[in-house]
A and B are shown apart, each in its own frame.
Chain A
């Protein structure tokens, strides 16, 4: 069975600072895809960033970047220059190539950005 673990239930960061959210996963597959989703207070799920496991280069999207360590099965999210609008639940998720696109989600990290 595939599992995703987010070990930090809650985190906080000062506005304009950098924060890193942790995620580890367990799979015996070699070909898979990893995602970070953001769920703000509106509860709308928003895709933040995506990483293909066969690519060694870490994905970046503006202020968001990942540190993908395939051997360690680790996929952390770094948010630079944190903004008040980054306050949200963040979910790590992944899918394996032959799983019909089905995502397995972690338990989430609640991030609070303080002014």
Chain B
């Protein structure tokens, strides 16, 4: 079955550490997105990519980095520069030009310890 896989489901980060969240899709979707969700709040866009080897900053890109070396994969690195990384992270994908919304992954809960 096609879908988006995010891993790990739970991730713990020590102060000063970089961590990478994985997002893989087998839907042949062009575009992929990373959102951050804080408790009781909506989704805020971190980065998005519409094509391989190209990506754009969203509203809250500071302290994060991404890559898009393959169409299927869009990993997110939370760097030590992100001062408040504890949140729920959602990856999504869509077909450009078809406005049927996103397919979402199941999310990664990142906690700073």
Residue among B43, B88, B90 with max Cβ neighbours from chain A (10 Å) = B43
Q: Count residues of chain B with CB under 8 A from any CB of chain A.
A: 26
Q: Which residues of B contact A37 (CB under 8 A)?
A: 101
Q: Which residues of B contact A47 (CB under 8 A)?
A: 100-102
Q: Count residues of chain A with CB under 8 A from any CB of chain B.
A: 26
B112 at the A/B interface (Cβ < 8 Å)? no
B75 at the A/B interface (Cβ < 8 Å)? no
B93: nearest chain-A partner, CB-CB = A101
Q: Are A107 and B99 in contact (CB-based, < 8 A)?
A: no
Bound-complex Cα distance A45 to B102 (A): 9
Task: Indicate which residue in A9, A35, A97 contacts B101 across the interface (CB closer than 8 Å).
Answer: A35
B positions within 8 Å CB-CB of A:
31, 33, 35, 40-45, 48, 50, 88, 90, 92, 94-102, 104, 106-107
Nearest 9 pairs of A and B residues by beta carbon: A45-B104, A107-B42, A33-B99, A105-B43, A105-B42, A101-B94, A35-B101, A47-B101, A108-B42
- 21 example contacts (A-B, Cβ-Cβ < 8 A) are as follows A4-B42, A9-B40, A35-B101, A42-B106, A43-B88, A47-B101, A47-B102, A50-B99, A52-B99, A91-B42, A97-B99, A100-B31, A100-B48, A100-B96, A101-B31, A101-B94, A101-B95, A101-B102, A103-B101, A107-B41, A108-B42
A positions within 8 Å CB-CB of B:
4, 6, 9, 33, 35, 37, 42-45, 47, 50, 52, 91, 93, 95, 97, 100-103, 105-108, 110
